[in-house]
Amino acid sequence: MKLLEERIRRDGKIRENGAVLKVDSFLNHQIDVELYNEMGREFFRLFGDEGVTRILTIEASGIGIACVTAQYFGVPVLFAKKSKTRNIDGSVYVTQVHSFTHGGDYDVMVAKDFLLPTDRVLLIDDFLANGSALQGLMDLVSQAGATVVGAGICVEKAFQPGGDALRAQGLRVESLARIAAMSEEAGGTFC
């Protein structure tokens, strides 16, 4: 998606010797709602014929784009929580994921009431690097006996193994911006 690539070139910042792409001024801290709207429209164009009944993401950065995208599909958004709170009663599906950003493992969960065997689930997330978050979401969907129709990703670090590994497993992954390489000196190169 050229619009997102241009925004990354203009406002993205590469840090930590090319390991981190900061897009917090428009994507995952401060949100450019017009850009989100165009990304949501693009995800609908890509997956609109898949019979999506629910969108699933992980808190927190994926929630905004999942909500905007869900408006195009006319379906609810479910987000996997990183901790069980008092307002989650009853049983939950639980899986463990590793966060590259936070540098640790944690359990995520969704209430069984909101993820049903009849669901056709579109996974949405802001970043794809090593694929642990999507693996975790796929596990939650599998536990429910539901169907994953694909994954919509805002930014994929294509030089990391996650996207290739997930595609090799048969998951349809559609990334709006795929970065082939990045460095603080040269910036990012798109696929």
Predicted confidence (pLDDT) per residue in 140-174, tens digit: 999 999 999 999 999 999 999 999 999 999 999 99
Dihedral angle over CA of 164, 132, 169, 183, nearest 10: 0
| Predicted pLDDT at 87 | 61
Q: Which long-range contacts (CB under 8 A, 24 or more apart) does 103-106 make?
A: 106/82
pLDDT in tens, 67-110: 999 999 999 999 999 876 656 667 999 999 987 667 788 899 99
| Predicted pLDDT at 52 | 98
Give how far the C-alpha of residue 40 lies from the chain's centroid of Cα atoms, to the nearest Å. 12
pTM recorded for the entire structure:
0.92
**Is the pLDDT reported for residue 35 higher than 90?**
yes
Within a 10 A sphere around the Cβ of 111, how many other Cβ atoms?
16
| Predicted pLDDT at 101 | 66
Tell me the DSSP string of 126-149.
Answer: EEESS-HHHHHHHHHHHHHT-EEE
Per-residue pLDDT, averaged over 50-78, amounts to: 96
In this prediction, what percent of the chain has a pLDDT beyond 70?
94
